[in-house]
Structure 1
Amino acid sequence: MASIDILHDHSKTPAQARKAVEDVARKLSERFDMDYAWVGDTLKFNRSGVDGRIALLPKQLHVTADLGFLLSAMKGPIESEIRRVLDEKFS
């Protein structure tokens, strides 16, 4: 099983950061049939083969995800896409 662990700096207010994370989660949910829910300041998401979290920290996001066997082979492209979206939404 492969894991993804990304810390990404941002300059948004907590409310702006939460809205941006929610927007990304909604799009991923529609595109990949992913479930998600907020638990405090952490958005937890999952679907077959992926179990992850996005924690809202002051001036940082902490993205972690555990990839199942089949998606482990695609860790590099998945991590690159996460970083691209974070750069787009939070830079």
Structure 2
Amino acid sequence: MSHIDIRHSHSLAPKKARDAVQEVAEKLAARFGMEYDWDGDTLNFNRSGVEGHIALEPKNVQVTAKLGFLLAALKGPIEAEIRRVLEERFS
């Protein structure tokens, strides 16, 4: 099993940060069949081969994920896409 742990700083108001994460989660759900739910300021997500969460903090957003065997081979491109989306949504 492979792990991803990315922390990205931001200056968004809490509501805007949560809206940005929600929008990303909705797109992942529609595109990849990802299931998600909120627990406070943390969005938990999962589907076959991946589970993780996006934690919102006042000045940071942290994405952690555990990739199953098949997705572990794609860890590099997955991390790059996460970083791109974080830069786009939180900068």
Secondary structure of the structure 2 residue equivalent to 1:66: strand
Could you tell me how far 1:29 is from its partner in structure 2?
A: 0.4
Runs of 4+ with >2 A deviation: none
1:12 corresponds in structure 2 to 12
> Which structure 2 residues correspond to residues 1-91 of structure 1 after superposition, within 5 A?
1-91=1-91
Identity across aligned pairs (percent)?
Answer: 66
What stretches of structure 1 of length at least 5 have no aligned partner? none
Secondary structure of the structure 2 residue equivalent to 1:76: helix
For residues 2-49 of structure 1, what are the alpha-carbon distances to aligned partners after superposition, in whole Å with 9 as ceiling and x for unaligned? 000000000101110000000000001000000000001100000000
Query: Matched residues in 2 for 1:31 and 1:17: separation?
Result: 21
Query: Matched residues in 2 for 1:53 and 1:79: separation?
Result: 14
Query: Matched residues in 1 for 2:12 and 2:79: separation?
Result: 22
Secondary structure of the structure 2 residue equivalent to 1:11: coil
Count of residues paired in the alignment = 91
Could you tell me how far 1:58 is from its partner in structure 2?
A: 1.1
Q: Which amino acid aligns with 1:79?
A: E
TM-score normalised per structure 1:
0.99
Could you tell me how far 1:76 is from its partner in structure 2?
A: 0.3
Query: Matched residues in 2 for 1:69 and 1:58: separation?
Result: 34
Indicate the RMSD between aligned Cα atoms, in angstroms: 0.4
Q: Which amino acid aligns with 2:69?
A: F
